Amino acid sequence: MRLVMGVFLAFCLGAVAMAAETPVSRRQGEVAAGIVFSSSGIGVEGQWQTLENLALRLDGVLFFVDKDFGIANVSYDGDATLASSGLTLDYFPWENRGWRASIGVRANFSELRAEGTARGAVHIAQVLLTPEQLGTVRGTAHFPRMAPYAGIGFTGPVGRDGLLAVMDLGLLYYGNPRVRITADGTLAGHPTFIAVTRNEEARLARELKSLAFYPAVKLGLLYRF
Per-residue pLDDT of 140-160, as tens digits, reads 998 899 999 999 999 988 766
When divided into structural domains, the chain yields a total of 1
Contact indicator for 139, 204 with CB cutoff of 8 Å: yes
pTM over 0.75: yes
Residue 173: the pLDDT is 94
For 15, the domain range is 2-224
DSSP state letters, 31-60: EEEEEEEETTEEEEEEEEEEETTEEEEEEE
What stretches of the chain show up as alpha helix (H) in DSSP?
Answer: 2-20, 131-134, 191-208
β partners of residue 34:
45, 222
Contact indicator for 29, 71 with CB cutoff of 8 Å: no
Task: Check residues 4 and 179 and name the one with the higher pLDDT.
Answer: 179
> Is the confidence at residue 1, as pLDDT, over 70?
no
Q: Which of 75, 150, 153 is nearest to 119 (CA)?
A: 75
**CATH code (residue 59):** 2.40.160.170
Residue 183: the pLDDT is 85
Residue 130: the pLDDT is 82
Q: Which pLDDT band holds residue 4 (cuts at 50, 70, 90)?
A: very low
Q: Which pLDDT band holds residue 190 (cuts at 50, 70, 90)?
A: confident
